Structures are given as structure tokens and as C-alpha cells.
Structure 1
């Protein structure tokens, strides 16, 4: 063992965008999406919050 770094997967921006899209555009629960794509709920929640802040005031498409 012992590579020093905790086991954390790095996600591509495209992966994150797709995940956020599933929640925001398809109005799916975060818990459901996290099960499907195998990502931590806190991580996805952060991505979704960041997306909503970045797009605050815009009408959803």
C-alpha cells in the first residue's frame, strides 16, 4: 500500500457538467444521480451549488 495520497478519484470537467445537468436540467434528486454515476453526494452537491451560483439570475433553458 502506502502511496501517501488518500484514494480520491479525479473527475473531468465534462463528467461534472454531465452530472450537474442530470440534476439541474432533468430535475433528478442528487441522491439518485450519485448512485447512478458513483460520486459522493457532497461532491455533487458542491458542483450543483457552484453551477447555480454561476448561473444565478439566468432563466433555465
Structure 2
């Protein structure tokens, strides 16, 4: 099982993905940070739930 990413790293990647420029894809950001695009998508979904913006 892969070692989990530190919380600070996940939060930083999600922050960058949320503030990305138009035309920049999740796949590009995930590749830049060395994570799988599906992993970043799950992190973003989890962040919305943690913020209380969506029930989880």
C-alpha cells in the first residue's frame, strides 16, 4: 500500500487546482505534482465535504 501524502501537501494541491487558470486541467495539475488525476479529484471532493459545502 502506498504511503499517504501529508495533509499539507494535499491541501496545497487542492488549493492550486481550485485557483487554476482557464484551460488548465486537473490532469495537468496532478501530473505537475506527481499524483494521479483521480487522486486529486477525490481530494477535491473530500475538501468540499470537509468545508460543509456538501453533505458527506
TM-score tier after normalising by the smaller chain length: 0.7 to 0.9
- The alpha-carbon deviation at position 10 of structure 1 amounts to 2.3
Rg (Cα) greater in structure: 1
3-state SS of 1:43 partner: helix
1:17 to 2, 11, 36: 11
Q: TM (normalized to structure 1)?
A: 0.68
Is 1:39 matched with 2:42? Answer: no
* Residue in structure 1 matched with residue 50 of structure 2 by the alignment: 54
Q: TM (normalized to structure 2)?
A: 0.73
Runs of 4+ in structure 1 off by over 4 angstroms are: none
Distance between the aligned counterparts of 1:34 and 1:41, measured in 2?
5
* Superposed CA RMSD: 1.8
Report how many residues are paired.
50
Point out where structure 1 has 5 or more consecutive residues left out of the alignment: 1-5
Structure having the larger proportion of residues in helix: 2
